[in-house]
Amino acid sequence: MSLIVQKYGGSSVGSVARIHAVATQIDALAGKGHQVAVVVSAMGDTTDRLVELAREVCPEPDARELDALLATGEMVSTALVAMALNQLGRKARSWNALQLPIETTAHAGRARIERVEATGLKKDLAGGVVPVVAGFQGRAEGGDLTTIGRGGSDTTAVALAVVLEADECQILTDVDGVYTTDPRMVPEARRLPCVSFEEMLELAGQGSRVLHLRSVEFAARYGMKLRVLSSFEPGPGTLICQEDPRVEAPVVSGIAFNRDEAVITVAGVPHEPGVAHAILKPISHGAIEVDMIVVNTAHEKSVDFSFTVHRDDYQQALELTREAAARYRGASVTGDDRVAKVAVVGSGMRSHAGVATRLFEALFIESINVRLVSTSEIKISVLVAEKDLERAVRALHRAYGLDVAVSH
Ligand code: ADP
Ligand code: ASP
Ligand code: MG
Protein backbone atom coordinates (compact mmCIF):
# COMPACT_ATOMS: atom_id res chain seq x y z
CA MET A 1 0.00 0.00 0.00
CA SER A 2 1.39 3.39 -0.96
CA LEU A 3 0.53 6.90 0.08
CA ILE A 4 -0.03 9.01 -3.00
CA VAL A 5 -0.73 12.73 -3.23
CA GLN A 6 -2.62 13.60 -6.40
CA LYS A 7 -3.08 17.14 -7.65
CA TYR A 8 -5.75 17.94 -10.21
CA GLY A 9 -5.38 21.20 -12.16
CA GLY A 10 -8.05 23.64 -13.30
CA SER A 11 -9.05 22.01 -16.58
CA SER A 12 -9.09 18.59 -14.89
CA VAL A 13 -11.90 19.80 -12.59
CA GLY A 14 -13.34 22.32 -15.06
CA SER A 15 -16.94 21.01 -15.19
CA VAL A 16 -19.38 18.83 -13.27
CA ALA A 17 -18.58 15.96 -15.65
CA ARG A 18 -14.86 16.41 -15.03
CA ILE A 19 -15.41 16.48 -11.26
CA HIS A 20 -17.21 13.15 -11.49
CA ALA A 21 -14.44 11.75 -13.72
CA VAL A 22 -11.77 12.84 -11.26
CA ALA A 23 -13.71 11.42 -8.32
CA THR A 24 -13.98 8.09 -10.15
CA GLN A 25 -10.21 8.03 -10.69
CA ILE A 26 -9.47 8.84 -7.06
CA ASP A 27 -11.97 6.22 -5.93
CA ALA A 28 -10.33 3.60 -8.17
CA LEU A 29 -6.88 4.39 -6.78
CA ALA A 30 -8.12 4.24 -3.19
CA GLY A 31 -9.98 1.03 -4.09
CA LYS A 32 -6.64 -0.57 -4.92
CA GLY A 33 -5.69 -0.12 -1.28
CA HIS A 34 -3.63 3.07 -1.63
CA GLN A 35 -3.96 5.98 0.75
CA VAL A 36 -4.77 9.03 -1.34
CA ALA A 37 -4.63 12.71 -0.44
CA VAL A 38 -5.87 15.12 -3.09
CA VAL A 39 -5.06 18.74 -3.91
CA VAL A 40 -7.25 20.63 -6.34
CA SER A 41 -7.07 23.91 -8.25
CA ALA A 42 -10.00 26.17 -8.96
CA MET A 43 -12.39 25.00 -11.71
CA GLY A 44 -11.31 25.89 -15.26
CA ASP A 45 -10.44 29.56 -15.64
CA THR A 46 -12.09 30.59 -12.35
CA THR A 47 -8.95 32.30 -11.03
CA ASP A 48 -8.62 34.42 -14.20
CA ARG A 49 -12.29 35.37 -13.97
CA LEU A 50 -11.95 36.34 -10.32
CA VAL A 51 -8.95 38.54 -11.17
CA GLU A 52 -11.01 40.23 -13.91
CA LEU A 53 -13.95 40.65 -11.57
CA ALA A 54 -11.75 42.32 -8.98
CA ARG A 55 -10.35 44.69 -11.62
CA GLU A 56 -13.86 45.60 -12.73
CA VAL A 57 -14.67 46.63 -9.19
CA CYS A 58 -11.39 48.41 -8.67
CA PRO A 59 -8.47 48.80 -11.10
CA GLU A 60 -5.86 48.22 -8.40
CA PRO A 61 -7.49 45.96 -5.85
CA ASP A 62 -6.10 45.75 -2.37
CA ALA A 63 -3.70 42.78 -2.23
CA ARG A 64 -5.25 41.30 0.91
CA GLU A 65 -8.76 41.42 -0.53
CA LEU A 66 -7.59 40.02 -3.86
CA ASP A 67 -6.10 37.01 -2.08
CA ALA A 68 -9.31 36.58 -0.07
CA LEU A 69 -11.23 36.55 -3.36
CA LEU A 70 -8.89 34.24 -5.31
CA ALA A 71 -8.78 31.70 -2.50
CA THR A 72 -12.51 31.09 -2.92
CA GLY A 73 -11.93 29.36 -6.28
CA GLU A 74 -10.12 26.41 -4.72
CA MET A 75 -12.65 26.19 -1.88
CA VAL A 76 -15.42 25.60 -4.40
CA SER A 77 -13.61 22.75 -6.14
CA THR A 78 -12.51 20.99 -2.92
CA ALA A 79 -16.08 20.82 -1.65
CA LEU A 80 -17.42 19.62 -5.01
CA VAL A 81 -14.77 16.90 -5.40
CA ALA A 82 -15.40 15.73 -1.82
CA MET A 83 -19.15 15.60 -2.53
CA ALA A 84 -18.58 13.61 -5.72
CA LEU A 85 -16.39 11.13 -3.84
CA ASN A 86 -18.94 10.78 -1.06
CA GLN A 87 -21.58 10.10 -3.65
CA LEU A 88 -19.50 7.19 -4.92
CA GLY A 89 -19.45 5.80 -1.40
CA ARG A 90 -15.85 6.90 -0.79
CA LYS A 91 -15.49 8.93 2.38
CA ALA A 92 -13.87 12.30 1.68
CA ARG A 93 -13.47 15.66 3.39
CA SER A 94 -12.57 19.07 2.01
CA TRP A 95 -9.92 21.19 3.71
CA ASN A 96 -8.96 24.81 3.13
CA ALA A 97 -5.72 26.47 4.18
CA LEU A 98 -7.27 28.09 7.26
CA GLN A 99 -8.61 24.81 8.50
CA LEU A 100 -5.44 22.74 8.20
CA PRO A 101 -3.66 25.26 8.43
CA ILE A 102 -1.10 25.81 5.66
CA GLU A 103 1.07 28.56 7.09
CA THR A 104 2.71 31.00 4.71
CA THR A 105 4.61 34.27 4.73
CA ALA A 106 2.46 37.39 4.52
CA HIS A 107 3.40 38.47 0.96
CA ALA A 108 -0.05 38.68 -0.62
CA GLY A 109 -0.15 37.06 -4.05
CA ARG A 110 3.33 35.61 -3.70
CA ALA A 111 3.40 34.07 -0.25
CA ARG A 112 5.69 31.15 0.50
CA ILE A 113 4.63 28.01 2.31
CA GLU A 114 6.41 27.76 5.65
CA ARG A 115 4.61 24.92 7.39
CA VAL A 116 1.79 22.50 6.75
CA GLU A 117 -0.04 21.16 9.77
CA ALA A 118 -0.70 17.56 8.83
CA THR A 119 -2.57 16.29 11.90
CA GLY A 120 -6.01 16.53 10.32
CA LEU A 121 -4.82 14.94 7.09
CA LYS A 122 -3.13 12.06 8.88
CA LYS A 123 -6.27 11.42 10.88
CA ASP A 124 -8.33 11.33 7.70
CA LEU A 125 -5.91 8.97 5.97
CA ALA A 126 -5.76 6.66 8.98
CA GLY A 127 -9.56 6.60 9.08
CA GLY A 128 -9.93 5.71 5.41
CA VAL A 129 -11.08 9.22 4.46
CA VAL A 130 -9.72 10.98 1.36
CA PRO A 131 -8.71 14.53 2.31
CA VAL A 132 -9.30 17.01 -0.53
CA VAL A 133 -7.16 20.08 0.03
CA ALA A 134 -7.38 23.53 -1.56
CA GLY A 135 -4.22 24.29 -3.50
CA PHE A 136 -2.71 27.72 -4.06
CA GLN A 137 -3.78 29.22 -0.72
CA GLY A 138 -2.32 29.69 2.71
CA ARG A 139 -2.75 31.42 6.00
CA ALA A 140 -0.46 34.21 7.12
CA GLU A 141 0.32 34.93 10.76
CA GLY A 142 -2.72 36.72 12.13
CA GLY A 143 -5.10 34.68 10.03
CA ASP A 144 -5.24 36.39 6.65
CA LEU A 145 -5.75 34.24 3.58
CA THR A 146 -2.82 34.35 1.17
CA THR A 147 -2.08 32.91 -2.25
CA ILE A 148 1.28 31.53 -3.29
CA GLY A 149 1.52 32.62 -6.93
CA ARG A 150 -0.29 31.60 -10.11
CA GLY A 151 0.03 27.89 -10.78
CA GLY A 152 0.87 27.35 -7.12
CA SER A 153 -1.34 24.32 -6.47
CA ASP A 154 1.51 22.12 -7.70
CA THR A 155 3.60 23.47 -4.84
CA THR A 156 0.83 22.85 -2.31
CA ALA A 157 0.73 19.23 -3.51
CA VAL A 158 4.46 18.68 -3.15
CA ALA A 159 4.49 20.38 0.27
CA LEU A 160 1.72 18.03 1.41
CA ALA A 161 3.51 15.02 -0.06
CA VAL A 162 6.65 15.97 1.84
CA VAL A 163 4.95 16.41 5.23
CA LEU A 164 2.92 13.24 4.75
CA GLU A 165 6.06 11.39 3.61
CA ALA A 166 4.14 10.21 0.57
CA ASP A 167 5.59 7.63 -1.79
CA GLU A 168 4.78 9.75 -4.83
CA CYS A 169 3.30 13.10 -5.80
CA GLN A 170 1.31 13.01 -9.02
CA ILE A 171 0.45 16.19 -10.93
CA LEU A 172 -2.57 15.39 -13.09
CA THR A 173 -3.18 17.89 -15.83
CA ASP A 174 -4.41 18.36 -19.40
CA VAL A 175 -1.21 17.09 -21.09
CA ASP A 176 0.15 13.58 -20.69
CA GLY A 177 3.57 14.65 -19.42
CA VAL A 178 6.37 17.12 -19.83
CA TYR A 179 7.14 17.78 -23.50
CA THR A 180 10.21 19.11 -25.29
CA THR A 181 8.28 22.37 -25.41
CA ASP A 182 4.67 23.48 -24.96
CA PRO A 183 2.78 21.12 -27.32
CA ARG A 184 0.10 23.78 -27.75
CA MET A 185 2.59 26.01 -29.50
CA VAL A 186 4.65 23.34 -31.26
CA PRO A 187 2.61 20.29 -32.29
CA GLU A 188 5.88 18.51 -33.20
CA ALA A 189 6.91 18.50 -29.52
CA ARG A 190 7.58 15.11 -27.93
CA ARG A 191 6.75 13.77 -24.48
CA LEU A 192 9.82 13.12 -22.35
CA PRO A 193 9.60 9.86 -20.36
CA CYS A 194 11.76 11.46 -17.69
CA VAL A 195 13.41 14.81 -17.00
CA SER A 196 16.10 15.41 -14.42
CA PHE A 197 15.33 17.74 -11.54
CA GLU A 198 18.02 20.18 -12.67
CA GLU A 199 16.53 20.41 -16.16
CA MET A 200 12.97 20.68 -14.84
CA LEU A 201 14.06 23.46 -12.48
CA GLU A 202 15.41 25.42 -15.43
CA LEU A 203 12.38 24.68 -17.63
CA ALA A 204 9.93 25.72 -14.90
CA GLY A 205 12.06 28.72 -13.93
CA GLN A 206 12.11 29.88 -17.53
CA GLY A 207 8.35 29.76 -17.88
CA SER A 208 7.24 26.24 -18.74
CA ARG A 209 4.04 26.34 -16.73
CA VAL A 210 3.44 22.59 -16.69
CA LEU A 211 5.01 22.61 -13.20
CA HIS A 212 5.19 25.50 -10.74
CA LEU A 213 8.85 26.27 -10.07
CA ARG A 214 8.69 25.94 -6.30
CA SER A 215 7.05 22.51 -6.57
CA VAL A 216 10.15 21.29 -8.39
CA GLU A 217 12.44 22.98 -5.85
CA PHE A 218 10.60 21.32 -2.95
CA ALA A 219 10.57 17.92 -4.60
CA ALA A 220 14.28 18.16 -5.42
CA ARG A 221 15.18 19.28 -1.91
CA TYR A 222 13.24 16.53 -0.18
CA GLY A 223 13.79 13.79 -2.77
CA MET A 224 10.06 13.51 -3.45
CA LYS A 225 9.10 11.35 -6.42
CA LEU A 226 7.22 13.68 -8.77
CA ARG A 227 5.29 12.60 -11.83
CA VAL A 228 3.25 14.54 -14.42
CA LEU A 229 0.29 12.64 -15.83
CA SER A 230 -2.83 13.30 -17.85
CA SER A 231 -6.09 13.29 -15.91
CA PHE A 232 -7.91 12.66 -19.20
CA GLU A 233 -6.20 9.45 -20.37
CA PRO A 234 -4.05 6.75 -18.82
CA GLY A 235 -0.34 6.67 -19.60
CA PRO A 236 3.14 6.60 -18.09
CA GLY A 237 3.52 10.42 -18.02
CA THR A 238 6.84 11.99 -17.17
CA LEU A 239 8.89 11.18 -14.10
CA ILE A 240 11.06 13.94 -12.69
CA CYS A 241 14.15 11.96 -11.76
CA GLN A 242 17.48 12.53 -10.06
CA GLU A 243 19.50 11.96 -13.20
CA ASP A 244 18.78 11.47 -16.86
CA PRO A 245 19.14 7.71 -17.35
CA ARG A 246 20.08 8.11 -21.01
CA VAL A 247 23.73 7.22 -21.58
CA GLU A 248 24.30 10.20 -23.84
CA ALA A 249 21.94 12.97 -22.80
CA PRO A 250 20.88 15.19 -25.71
CA VAL A 251 22.51 18.60 -25.82
CA VAL A 252 19.14 20.31 -25.49
CA SER A 253 16.26 18.49 -23.79
CA GLY A 254 13.63 21.17 -23.92
CA ILE A 255 12.66 24.73 -24.70
CA ALA A 256 10.78 26.99 -22.33
CA PHE A 257 9.37 30.41 -22.97
CA ASN A 258 7.64 33.20 -21.16
CA ARG A 259 5.57 35.92 -22.76
CA ASP A 260 5.07 37.97 -19.64
CA GLU A 261 8.38 39.75 -19.60
CA ALA A 262 9.35 43.39 -19.45
CA VAL A 263 12.77 44.99 -19.73
CA ILE A 264 14.02 48.17 -18.07
CA THR A 265 17.18 49.94 -19.16
CA VAL A 266 19.03 52.58 -17.18
CA ALA A 267 21.51 54.40 -19.42
CA GLY A 268 24.30 56.73 -18.46
CA VAL A 269 24.83 55.86 -14.81
CA PRO A 270 28.36 56.29 -13.43
CA HIS A 271 30.79 53.40 -13.81
CA GLU A 272 31.48 52.91 -10.11
CA PRO A 273 30.84 50.32 -7.41
CA GLY A 274 27.41 50.30 -5.77
CA VAL A 275 25.35 51.62 -8.68
CA ALA A 276 23.69 48.30 -9.50
CA HIS A 277 22.96 47.85 -5.81
CA ALA A 278 21.43 51.33 -5.50
CA ILE A 279 19.13 50.68 -8.45
CA LEU A 280 18.09 47.12 -7.67
CA LYS A 281 17.64 47.50 -3.89
CA PRO A 282 14.28 49.33 -4.05
CA ILE A 283 13.07 46.73 -6.55
CA SER A 284 13.87 43.85 -4.24
CA HIS A 285 12.36 45.74 -1.30
CA GLY A 286 9.17 45.93 -3.33
CA ALA A 287 9.35 42.07 -3.49
CA ILE A 288 9.73 42.27 -7.26
CA GLU A 289 11.78 39.48 -8.78
CA VAL A 290 14.48 40.50 -11.19
CA ASP A 291 15.46 37.91 -13.74
CA MET A 292 18.06 38.71 -16.41
CA ILE A 293 20.62 41.43 -15.65
CA VAL A 294 23.10 42.85 -18.14
CA VAL A 295 25.62 45.59 -17.45
CA ASN A 296 27.10 47.16 -20.53
CA THR A 297 30.38 49.00 -19.91
CA ALA A 298 30.99 50.15 -23.46
CA HIS A 299 31.72 53.73 -22.33
CA GLU A 300 34.56 54.61 -20.04
CA LYS A 301 32.75 56.76 -17.51
CA SER A 302 29.19 55.53 -17.67
CA VAL A 303 27.38 52.22 -17.97
CA ASP A 304 24.08 51.04 -19.34
CA PHE A 305 22.24 48.64 -17.15
CA SER A 306 19.30 46.43 -18.20
CA PHE A 307 17.19 43.96 -16.30
CA THR A 308 13.93 42.09 -16.77
CA VAL A 309 10.92 41.75 -14.51
CA HIS A 310 7.53 40.08 -14.81
CA ARG A 311 5.18 42.16 -16.94
CA ASP A 312 2.73 42.56 -14.03
CA ASP A 313 5.49 44.27 -12.05
CA TYR A 314 6.59 46.52 -14.92
CA GLN A 315 4.91 49.79 -13.94
CA GLN A 316 5.95 49.55 -10.31
CA ALA A 317 9.51 48.54 -11.23
CA LEU A 318 9.73 51.39 -13.74
CA GLU A 319 8.65 53.93 -11.12
CA LEU A 320 11.08 52.56 -8.52
CA THR A 321 13.90 52.59 -11.06
CA ARG A 322 13.13 56.18 -12.08
CA GLU A 323 13.25 57.23 -8.42
CA ALA A 324 16.52 55.38 -7.83
CA ALA A 325 18.16 56.69 -11.00
CA ALA A 326 17.14 60.31 -10.30
CA ARG A 327 20.19 60.71 -8.05
CA TYR A 328 22.52 60.24 -11.06
CA ARG A 329 22.72 63.29 -13.30
CA GLY A 330 22.23 62.47 -16.96
CA ALA A 331 20.82 58.99 -16.32
CA SER A 332 17.81 57.97 -18.38
CA VAL A 333 15.34 55.16 -17.78
CA THR A 334 13.48 53.42 -20.59
CA GLY A 335 11.44 50.25 -20.76
CA ASP A 336 9.58 47.85 -23.00
CA ASP A 337 6.87 45.48 -21.84
CA ARG A 338 6.31 43.72 -25.16
CA VAL A 339 9.22 41.33 -24.86
CA ALA A 340 9.41 37.59 -24.27
CA LYS A 341 12.03 35.11 -23.20
CA VAL A 342 13.03 31.83 -24.82
CA ALA A 343 15.36 29.37 -23.12
CA VAL A 344 17.01 26.22 -24.37
CA VAL A 345 17.76 23.77 -21.56
CA GLY A 346 19.82 20.58 -21.41
CA SER A 347 22.30 18.86 -19.10
CA GLY A 348 24.22 17.76 -22.20
CA MET A 349 25.19 21.40 -22.76
CA ARG A 350 27.95 21.09 -20.18
CA SER A 351 30.00 18.85 -22.40
CA HIS A 352 29.18 20.32 -25.79
CA ALA A 353 30.57 23.32 -27.59
CA GLY A 354 28.66 25.32 -30.16
CA VAL A 355 25.26 25.34 -28.45
CA ALA A 356 25.08 29.13 -28.43
CA THR A 357 26.31 29.37 -32.02
CA ARG A 358 23.49 27.15 -33.17
CA LEU A 359 20.99 29.27 -31.26
CA PHE A 360 22.20 32.52 -32.80
CA GLU A 361 22.32 30.95 -36.25
CA ALA A 362 18.74 29.69 -35.99
CA LEU A 363 17.49 33.10 -34.86
CA PHE A 364 19.55 34.88 -37.54
CA ILE A 365 17.96 32.72 -40.26
CA GLU A 366 14.56 33.86 -38.94
CA SER A 367 15.75 37.51 -38.78
CA ILE A 368 15.01 37.65 -35.07
CA ASN A 369 16.87 40.23 -32.98
CA VAL A 370 18.23 39.19 -29.60
CA ARG A 371 17.86 41.88 -26.91
CA LEU A 372 19.52 40.20 -23.89
CA VAL A 373 21.22 36.90 -23.21
CA SER A 374 21.74 35.05 -19.97
CA THR A 375 23.25 31.64 -19.39
CA SER A 376 23.71 28.98 -16.75
CA GLU A 377 25.66 25.73 -17.05
CA ILE A 378 22.69 24.01 -18.63
CA LYS A 379 20.67 26.87 -20.14
CA ILE A 380 20.85 29.74 -22.59
CA SER A 381 18.01 32.23 -22.55
CA VAL A 382 17.42 35.14 -24.85
CA LEU A 383 15.03 38.05 -24.76
CA VAL A 384 13.22 38.78 -28.03
CA ALA A 385 10.32 40.96 -29.15
CA GLU A 386 7.03 39.33 -28.20
CA LYS A 387 5.94 39.26 -31.83
CA ASP A 388 8.93 37.01 -32.66
CA LEU A 389 8.39 34.55 -29.82
CA GLU A 390 6.52 31.78 -31.60
CA ARG A 391 8.87 31.78 -34.59
CA ALA A 392 11.87 31.69 -32.25
CA VAL A 393 10.54 28.69 -30.30
CA ARG A 394 9.72 26.74 -33.48
CA ALA A 395 13.08 27.55 -35.07
CA LEU A 396 15.04 26.46 -32.00
CA HIS A 397 12.96 23.32 -31.52
CA ARG A 398 13.87 22.35 -35.07
CA ALA A 399 17.50 23.49 -34.85
CA TYR A 400 18.25 21.27 -31.86
CA GLY A 401 16.62 18.23 -33.44
CA LEU A 402 13.68 18.12 -31.05
CA ASP A 403 10.90 17.96 -33.66
CA VAL A 404 9.20 14.58 -33.73
CA ALA A 405 10.59 12.48 -36.60
CA VAL A 406 8.13 12.57 -39.48
CA SER A 407 7.73 9.18 -41.16
CA HIS A 408 7.41 9.22 -44.96
P1 ADP B 1 -3.11 22.80 -14.67
O2 ADP B 1 -4.32 23.68 -14.71
O3 ADP B 1 -3.43 21.35 -14.73
O4 ADP B 1 -2.17 23.15 -13.58
P5 ADP B 1 -1.44 24.24 -16.53
O6 ADP B 1 -2.18 24.97 -17.60
O7 ADP B 1 -0.92 25.01 -15.39
O8 ADP B 1 -2.37 23.05 -16.06
O9 ADP B 1 -0.21 23.42 -17.15
C10 ADP B 1 -0.41 22.54 -18.22
C11 ADP B 1 -0.08 23.27 -19.51
O12 ADP B 1 1.31 23.55 -19.54
C13 ADP B 1 -0.29 22.47 -20.77
O14 ADP B 1 -1.62 22.54 -21.20
C15 ADP B 1 0.68 23.08 -21.74
O16 ADP B 1 0.05 23.98 -22.62
C17 ADP B 1 1.65 23.88 -20.87
N18 ADP B 1 3.05 23.56 -21.09
C19 ADP B 1 4.05 24.48 -21.20
N20 ADP B 1 5.22 23.90 -21.41
C21 ADP B 1 5.01 22.57 -21.42
C22 ADP B 1 5.84 21.42 -21.59
N23 ADP B 1 7.16 21.55 -21.78
N24 ADP B 1 5.27 20.20 -21.55
C25 ADP B 1 3.94 20.08 -21.34
N26 ADP B 1 3.10 21.11 -21.18
C27 ADP B 1 3.61 22.35 -21.22
N1 ASP C 1 -6.00 28.39 -9.47
C2 ASP C 1 -4.66 28.95 -9.38
C3 ASP C 1 -4.26 29.57 -10.72
O4 ASP C 1 -5.03 29.57 -11.66
C5 ASP C 1 -3.65 27.97 -8.90
C6 ASP C 1 -3.36 26.80 -9.83
O7 ASP C 1 -4.06 26.57 -10.81
O8 ASP C 1 -2.41 26.08 -9.53
O9 ASP C 1 -3.18 30.09 -10.81
MG1 MG D 1 -0.65 24.59 -13.35
Residue 405: what pLDDT? 66
pLDDT tens sequence across 8-21:
999 999 999 999 99
Mean pLDDT of the chain: 94
**pLDDT of 360 strictly over 60:** yes
- Annotate 127-192 with DSSP letters as a single string: TT-EEEEE-SEEE-TTS-EEE--TTTHHHHHHHHHHHTT-SEEEEEESSSS-BSS-TTT-TT--B-
Q: Among 3-12, 93-102, 322-331, which is the least confidently predicted range? A: 322-331
Ligand 2 centroid–CA 291 distance in Å is 22
Residue 247: what pLDDT? 62
Q: Nearest ligand, CA of residue 208?
A: 1
Three-state DSSP at 347 gives helix
**pLDDT of 250 strictly over 90:** no
Q: Among 175-179, 264-268, 313-317, 352-356, which is the least confidently predicted range? A: 352-356
**Minimum-distance ligand 2 atom for the alpha carbon of 151:** 8
Which domains, from first to last, does the chain contain? 3-174 (3.40.1160.10), 255-399 (3.30.2130.10)
Which of 209, 226, 402 maximizes ligand 1 atoms within 8 Å of its Cβ, making it the mutation to test the pocket?
Answer: 209
Confidence of residue 211 (pLDDT cuts 50, 70, 90): very high
For 354, counting Cβ atoms within 10 Å of its Cβ (0-12 exposed, 13-18 middle, 19+ buried), the class is exposed
Q: Among 186-195, 202-211, 338-347, 349-358, which is the least confidently predicted range? A: 349-358
Q: Among 65-79, 105-119, 239-253, which is the least confidently predicted range? A: 239-253
**pLDDT of 235 strictly over 50:** yes
Q: Residues of the chain with pLDDT > 90: what percent? A: 84
What's the pTM? 0.93
pLDDT tens sequence across 51-85:
999 999 999 899 999 999 999 999 999 999 999 99
**Minimum-distance ligand 2 atom for the alpha carbon of 74:** 1
Which of 136, 228, 312 maximizes ligand 2 atoms within 8 Å of its Cβ, making it the mutation to test the pocket?
Answer: 136
Ligand 2 centroid–CA 57 distance in Å is 21
The residue type at 61: P
Residue 387, Cβ neighbours under 10 Å: how many? 11
| Closest residue CA from atom 4 of ligand 2 | 47
| C-beta separation of 317 from 285 below 8 A | no
Q: Nearest ligand, CA of residue 46?
A: 2
Residue 122: what pLDDT? 98
Task: Please give all residues whose beta carbon lies within 6 A of any atom in ligand 1, as ranges.
Answer: 9-12, 41, 151, 173-175, 178-179, 181-184, 208-210, 254
**pLDDT of 164 strictly over 70:** yes
Q: What mean pLDDT do residues 223-243 have? A: 95
Which whole-number Å values give the CA distances from 329 to 156, 226, 294, 332, in the listed order? Answer: 47, 52, 21, 9
- Strand duo 130-134 + 113-116: pairing: unpaired
